[in-house]
Amino acid sequence: MLTAFRGLCGATGVALLLISALLISGCGYGEALEDAADTENRQASDEAQPDIATEETMYDDGDRDAEAEVDEDDADETLFDAAELAGVSKEEFIKGLDTQMKKLDRQIEDMEARSDQIRDDVQRRWETTINSLREERAELKEEYKDLKDANEDLWEDFRATVMASWNKTRVALEKAENDFERYMKQE
């Protein structure tokens, strides 16, 4: 059955199926993330070495050194989306969001570093696209700060707002990635 499911939905579907099964069986979110990340790592064992996050991408107030190295074993956004439905704790939710924001920052930095590959005739459109993504990212960061500052009784009220902001940011990222590929110089 797992092979048939993989054929229909790919690696992301398998990871989501794994998380669902683990959550139903009583396994915690952290264990589900580890198991799903292991599955994805086996499928993508040839990926690049971990990137080092820049100072601007750190979110812990003052504890930048402890968070400096970003782990490539992080699960993808579908795992984070599953967390919304799993009734996770505030700390687990923040940890998942932190992971996704760092991944987002790496993707933005990668596109910016390769922006010299964009054709001259569409450079202005590309700048508009990437600026829109940066604005969505800034809004997400503000929502993130509000969530971190929320007390234990009210944090779930902020979760829906953060998830809406995350989804808008993810859509902006997908648009930027698509535009980037379309605007690249033909060589």
Cα angle: 135, vertex 155, 27; to 5 degrees: 105
The one-digit pLDDT tens for each residue of the chain (187 residues) are 434 333 434 444 434 333 444 334 444 444 444 444 444 444 433 333 333 333 343 333 333 333 333 344 344 444 455 555 557 888 888 998 999 999 999 999 999 998 888 888 888 999 999 999 999 999 999 999 999 998 888 888 888 888 899 999 999 999 999 998 888 876 4
Question: Please, which residues have CB within 8 angstroms of residue 25's CB and are 6 or more apart in sequence?
Answer: none
* Entry pTM: 0.54
Q: How many residues are there in the chain? A: 187
